[in-house]
Amino acid sequence: MNTNLRAVWLCMKFEIAAMLRGGAGSIVNISSIYGTKPHDLGAAPYAASKHGVNGLSKSAAVDYATQGIRVNVVAPGYTHSDIIDSYIEQAPELSALVVARHSAMNRVGDASETAEAIAWLCSDAASFVNGAVLDVDGGSTTKLV
């Protein structure tokens, strides 16, 4: 909870203060597909923290919208990282099953794809997007029932 939720709240506290002084801004918090649809046994604490990030962000989006501050969330699915790549390396056959289960696109995402979604949410092209949770997951949350 300290890393996944409290840290986001503390960052937002200072970001919002600076944006209020500056007159506007855009915050994009990082959650997870587990904050949308938890789907693994034993993931309750992690899922709860990510649901918290989503709720905190949506509430702040409403609270500060009239002051020119937008708050959105990106919820990545399985994305290449040191942790995910080490799992793939250690158990390629298991990784293939996980990818098949979790991605409609049948692959793990790249961090650059998540970064592009964040850049879009921060841009003027997303000026009317506020309080959204954008799943960047290759269709994982759509595929899972």
Instruction: Tell me which residues are annotated as active site.
Output: 46
**What does the block give as tokens for 97?**
């099953």
Q: How far apart are CA 139 and CA 132, in angstroms?
A: 17
How far is the C-alpha of 106 from the C-alpha of 102, rounded, in Å?
Answer: 8
Phi and psi, residue 55, nearest 5° = -65, -45
Structure tokens at 95: 């990784």
